[in-house]
Structure 1
């Protein structure tokens, strides 16, 4: 990323700056103050939260073709939902700080939107960037993405239940009356083993890119901009997408070695998106129309235990062949599973408690969700085993859709090999228009 590099998409390099809560444009005075004194906090932004540092070095020094794809931050929907799934993720959850007010929240969203509109085009977070400011002050941009292209970076911002009302019922920002009825803390599920360090948050940012350093740069700098208004609660790095959102993407594999996301909702299926992903005007509230709900689940995989399971049993647990991804009822990867098919002894070819069967829309009132998950490896635990798994991300029109599917999976035989250790839910507003900011409708 450069200070004044040409936009790969051909548009002007300087996006319109939103009006800040202080009456100026671009990053607000308080935001600039945070950038100027937040160099120490920048290290926290990269390192805070268990697992935040794993895998960063893999992107260092890697320059991409200047013509690499760039996604516009502005649009009817936020990027990072139906956008072709990138290879790397840095997800971050934030809490607003004590003694902040409504103006602080608005200015933060304006500053984030302005910076995001630049870095998604391969630019620094501000016009002065990493090297254009005073040599006697910390630079606006941390600079580790200089020379790197946009790498398909997308920034997606969400609002958690506690932004509207705290757990003890405090309406800090006068937003309780505008809280979506569907935006509630997820209920407990059978088998949950949730770590309080990986739960919830007032705000979230999902940064996805094809270069891990670009994704980390985004979260690092947005964290610096938040200084004095919001603090990082937890974060997670992910690699190796575990879903596809376009027909030209191949189906990837998760850390169990199976193809994942074969039946995912795709970006060109407008009917499915309208039915299952986008909040409609009739769903309410009006400020969320065109947005969605994001659920994040950190799912630890018991890798060493799984690796000792014979192949035929692995296939039966999933309900698909490990090699081809085809359902056990026959065909190819994209053949519709036949749950009535049986073997010579009359037993179902696809076991009744297999993952594929229990998650299938045919057994869940047609429920579907759009998945954007990633693998993660956070080193090893104190037993010398891999601390690894799936960072599950899904977008749905109604959080109840996720709840229904998760409850349906309570008897899934795969539960013997996984543990849900982190959880969160956020309302994702529609996209912003140039000159405005994400979530502006909430404050109208």
Structure 2
């Protein structure tokens, strides 16, 4: 059973504003500087084949499928053979692409694992693709950590992202197996409005502007310091962070705001009125103490406290239902709680001077740590974009 696709021009004309097609081909991969969509599906794979040519065939198949899925809505072919399986689930028939993007990454173990150069690419592993250190407070689950390959589908329709991931996973049969996955969502906030997270605060106020080309080149896109296959790409850190939401909800509003360093309603720095007002961390109150607590999340993550370090956060909330845990606060009970929190995700030119530099300190003294637990982790090198006739990461294998 075959499917056919509308042309990108025809699709763009029929979609409503905010649901336009995101181009797959380009200098950079989609889903990095793209405005965050409403839904995401992240999945990591382990490559089980030892054959270089099979890995290349998979990347080529993923590239072609991604170009199709992002170009236009899926249609059933009325002339398809009913005695043959379809090339996809058909779950997206009748749906627009909803701004679908597909972003691919390569983990360190793709290059070398247990001392073995698996695909003849070990020498092309970038210096910046390091093994993330163990951070204070980490409670990482091995089954939710690492991976050889990563795929992230983002769109404004949850069925579209699920359909895309299933199609790509099917193409991986025999070559790679699914290692771990996490879905996520954003609220239906207005365009150019900072979304709120599950803690009720605006999330992502201080972020690199994707509209500022100079800032993106400085902080996000890999330059001439990287290998050819990574120039114009970026390094993605992704970490599911479980938040003790019930515990947080019982805290006084004043304590919540002190912990974050911002007012809950406006998102403005403590003592100010507008969200994008400067933090001015040196401000002191009548008692001589800083207006914004020096251990607050806003203060510790601020560029002025980190030598100008900036990352591009592209985070989503997640909710996996409920789970049984032991509390991290008195009376340390066993209880059933929400398995929910933040699917933290950030991009940077170099994780050593980006996330690792920022989070090493934050993991130790951030006031938010009493409510958060990092349960998974991954660092992936996301190569530059693809041109028609190429496949993702092609220069890595040349």
Give the counterpart of 2:221 among 255, 275, 278: 278
Deviation at 1:136, TM superposition (A): 1.5
Deviation at 1:4, TM superposition (A): 3.0
SS at match of 2:71: coil
1:153-302 maps to which residues of 2 (within 5 A)?
153-166=100-113, 168-240=114-186, 248-281=191-224, 283-302=225-244
SS at match of 1:271: helix
The structure-2 alpha-carbon separation of the partners of 1:390 and 1:353, relative to structure 1 and needing over 3 Å to count, comes to same
Per-residue displacement from partner, 1:161-204 (whole Å, max 9, x unpaired)? 000001x1111100101110111221000010101111000000
Q: Distance in 1 between matches of 2:196 and 2:287?
A: 32
The structure-2 alpha-carbon separation of the partners of 1:112 and 1:155, relative to structure 1 and needing over 3 Å to count, comes to same
In 2, are the aligned partners of 1:64 and 1:148 still within 8 Å (CA)? Answer: no
Q: Distance in 2 between matches of 1:242 and 1:407?
A: 33
1:33-432 maps to which residues of 2 (within 5 A)?
68-97=19-48, 99-124=49-74, 133-166=80-113, 168-240=114-186, 248-281=191-224, 283-382=225-324, 383-400=335-352, 401-409=354-362, 410-432=364-386
Per-residue displacement from partner, 1:88-124 (whole Å, max 9, x unpaired)? 0000000101x43110110000000000000012344
The structure-2 alpha-carbon separation of the partners of 1:340 and 1:426, relative to structure 1 and needing over 3 Å to count, comes to same
Q: Distance in 2 between matches of 1:301 and 1:66?
A: 34
In 1, are the aligned partners of 2:19 and 2:156 still within 8 Å (CA)? Answer: no
Q: Distance in 2 between matches of 1:269 and 1:11?
A: 28
Q: Distance in 2 between matches of 1:68 and 1:301?
A: 31
Q: Distance in 2 between matches of 1:130 and 1:230?
A: 29
The structure-2 alpha-carbon separation of the partners of 1:249 and 1:178, relative to structure 1 and needing over 3 Å to count, comes to same
Unaligned 5+ runs, structure 1: 13-62
Aligned length: 384
In 1, are the aligned partners of 2:31 and 2:154 still within 8 Å (CA)? Answer: yes
Q: Distance in 2 between matches of 1:11 and 1:357?
A: 45
The structure-2 alpha-carbon separation of the partners of 1:136 and 1:263, relative to structure 1 and needing over 3 Å to count, comes to same
In 2, are the aligned partners of 1:160 and 1:427 still within 8 Å (CA)? Answer: yes
Deviation at 1:241, TM superposition (A): 6.2
CA RMSD of superposed structures (Å): 2.1
In 2, are the aligned partners of 1:329 and 1:341 still within 8 Å (CA)? Answer: no
In 2, are the aligned partners of 1:241 and 1:373 still within 8 Å (CA)? Answer: no
Per-residue displacement from partner, 1:111-149 (whole Å, max 9, x unpaired)? 00000000012344xxx9676542122111101110000
Q: Which structure has greater strand proportion? A: 2
TM-score if structure 1 supplies the norm length?
A: 0.83
Q: Distance in 1 between matches of 2:316 and 2:378?
A: 16
Per-residue displacement from partner, 1:61-106 (whole Å, max 9, x unpaired)? xx97599311111100000000111000000000101x43110110
Q: Distance in 1 between matches of 2:227 and 2:358?
A: 24
Unaligned 5+ runs, structure 2: 325-334
Deviation at 1:271, TM superposition (A): 1.1
Q: Distance in 1 between matches of 2:234 and 2:384?
A: 8
Q: Distance in 2 between matches of 1:291 and 1:230?
A: 23
The structure-2 alpha-carbon separation of the partners of 1:304 and 1:72, relative to structure 1 and needing over 3 Å to count, comes to same
Q: Distance in 2 between matches of 1:142 and 1:4?
A: 14
Q: Distance in 2 between matches of 1:275 and 1:71?
A: 24
The structure-2 alpha-carbon separation of the partners of 1:253 and 1:183, relative to structure 1 and needing over 3 Å to count, comes to same
SS at match of 1:399: coil
Q: Distance in 2 between matches of 1:130 and 1:252?
A: 40
In 1, are the aligned partners of 2:222 and 2:349 still within 8 Å (CA)? Answer: yes
> Which residue of the partner structure matches residue 24 of structure 1?
none
In 2, are the aligned partners of 1:185 and 1:424 still within 8 Å (CA)? Answer: no
TM-score if structure 2 supplies the norm length?
A: 0.92
